[in-house]
Amino acid sequence: MPDEIDESSDDRPRDDRLHRASIEFGLDADQAVQFETLVESASSAPRDLDGIVAALADPDIAEAAWTRWGDEDSLGPRLDQLVEHLATVEDPQGGTTWLRARHAAWSGRTPEAIELLEAAAAAGHRLVLAELAAIEADRSDPKAARTLLERAGVEVDVDLDSEYDPLAVDAGFARELAEEIAPFAAMRPPPMAGRNDRCPCGSGKKYKQCHLGHELHPLVDRAGWLYVKLMRFMQVNHPRLTSEIADDLVDAVVDPGLRTMVRESYLAIDLALFEGGVAESFLDAKRGLLPADEAELLESWIAATRTVLEVERSRPGSMDVVDLATRSRASVVDTVPDEPLEPGWRIIGRLVPVGESFRAYGGFLPVNDDMVAAMLEGFATRRLETVVLTIGQIFETAATQDEIQDLFAESLDTGELSALLEQFGDEPTRTNDDGVSPSSD
């Protein structure tokens, strides 16, 4: 008789892992083996450094490994040992340097990360060049970012007439970055000041010594981009946080449609960024890269508190509200429900200043009058756990009242481009052959 198959052997679980890697990341059989070796090297002393270097030289494998480490909560200190070993090996292809730079950036050592990446740029590794492009994007220099992406062989031509939603994009770091910068790279910003005037970016230098020839788009246009930069930072450094918050929000929700709606909204993202402290981490890590006016704007966003608002007037594209915690009035533009709300509605939201008006990038939720006091008390703590539990009370109500789901559908911002990147006014003008930025103001 033939020998019976040992179902408990190590081969079957490993084969399953290799198959999962092939399906999840589109790797071929050889890449999947290299991927498995690379991923495992984070949890034990690396034994095959040559194999690890070869795996990191393949951008698809390297990016897939970072994604898996993020999914398994293995970033940061858990990569220390591997990174220390990689610092001792030669890196003619740039892959190990990319990982060392990503690790340094994760730890907040941005200057070290930039130094590593610039030293490895000549090797042409796609992820090294894409990371440098992301740095230029953080500096709000889309043309420099686009040039680096082109050097990396990334397709940078983007259909600006199609809707861009960062939540819906899943094309890899470099291609997603190309979509992020496309509206700004396609438009030449106007002069910011006279040659001898103080540069409006906030640096304190004269315009001719600062941004002359490297103009920034108006801050009101860059505000939505700043929010996308925060999202990119979180996806790289804290990839699990948003989904964990969304799961907590809908823990008591039975209706699958409502659960999906919440998970696909910007609510959990906004909670992670602000109550979760990601925005502060971003500012600490990127302050030296961000234009000074963006850093100042972000500080004001971090200082803002989630609150309950009463609708005074609502119309397409804008809404006037009263903050029930402070009794102050505010005008919200762009990031408002598609359908105007009736005066007197009570909604929760987090307003952030942009120019003379406000935005609510995390969207709005309706709240019953008898819940207002509890909402305000919970929001005032500014603690993630408390705020999530507080908002969760609304979803517990929605789980048992079908009619409330219709209200969520009308007022929960699920994040269209016009609600996130409110760029360039109502009538953008084509200035080159790359395309025209969409308008939403």
Give yes or no for residue 349 having a pLDDT over 60.
Answer: yes
Based on the domain organization, do 114 and 238 belong to the same domain? no
Average pLDDT over residues 308-323: 95
Predicted local confidence at residue 11, as pLDDT: 56
Give yes or no for residue 434 having a pLDDT over 60.
Answer: no
Give yes or no for residue 152 having a pLDDT over 50.
Answer: yes
The rounded percent of the chain whose pLDDT value lies above 90 is: 61
Alpha carbon of 352 to those of 213, 274, 292, 329: distances in Å?
A: 30, 11, 18, 13
Instruction: Determine, yes or no, domain membership for 371.
Output: yes
Based on the domain organization, do 372 and 241 belong to the same domain? yes
Residues 6+ apart with CB under 8 A from 331: 318, 319, 320, 321, 356, 357, 358
Based on the domain organization, do 272 and 391 belong to the same domain? yes
Based on the domain organization, do 112 and 231 belong to the same domain? no
Average pLDDT over residues 340-355: 94
DSSP string, 64-123: HHHHHHHHTT--GGGGHHHHHHHTTS--TTSHHHHHHHHHHHHTT-HHHHHHHHHHHGGG
**Is the distance from CB of 146 to CB of 423 less than 8 angstroms?**
no
Alpha carbon of 391 to those of 212, 262, 364: distances in Å?
A: 46, 12, 11
CA dist 190 and 220 (Å) reads 13
Residue 291: helix, strand or coil by DSSP? coil
Domain final residue pick, 123, 155, 185: 123
Based on the domain organization, do 113 and 237 belong to the same domain? no
Based on the domain organization, do 119 and 230 belong to the same domain? no
Band (pLDDT 50/70/90 cuts) for residue 398 is: low
Instruction: Determine, yes or no, domain membership for 384.
Output: yes
The greatest distance separating any two alpha carbons of the chain, rounded to the nearest whole angstrom, comes to 92
Instruction: Determine, yes or no, domain membership for 433.
Output: no
Band (pLDDT 50/70/90 cuts) for residue 410 is: very low
Residue located via tokens 């984070």: 42
CA dist 144 and 26 (Å) reads 30
Predicted local confidence at residue 260, as pLDDT: 81
Based on the domain organization, do 111 and 243 belong to the same domain? no
Instruction: Determine, yes or no, domain membership for 367.
Output: yes
Band (pLDDT 50/70/90 cuts) for residue 240 is: very high
Based on the domain organization, do 233 and 114 belong to the same domain? no
Band (pLDDT 50/70/90 cuts) for residue 422 is: very low
Domain final residue pick, 100, 123, 146: 123
Instruction: Determine, yes or no, domain membership for 157.
Output: no
Among the ranges given (122-136, 272-286, 392-406), the one the predictor scored with the smallest mean pLDDT: 392-406
DSSP string, 14-28: HHHHHHHHHHHH---
Predicted local confidence at residue 163, as pLDDT: 61
Q: Which two tokens stand for residue 84?
A: 């220390």
Instruction: Determine, yes or no, domain membership for 197.
Output: no
CA dist 112 and 90 (Å) reads 18
**How many structural domains comprise the chain?**
2
Based on the domain organization, do 119 and 229 belong to the same domain? no
Tell me the residue range of the domain where 347 lies.
224-420
Instruction: Determine, yes or no, domain membership for 133.
Output: no
CA dist 309 and 367 (Å) reads 10
pTM for the full predicted model: 0.84
Q: How many CB atoms lie within 10 A of CB 74?
A: 17
**Is the distance from CB of 127 to CB of 149 less than 8 angstroms?**
no
Based on the domain organization, do 228 and 371 belong to the same domain? yes
Predicted local confidence at residue 261, as pLDDT: 80
Q: What is the pLDDT of residues 318-331, one digit of tens each?
A: 999 999 999 999 99
Q: Which two tokens stand for residue 124?
A: 């042409």
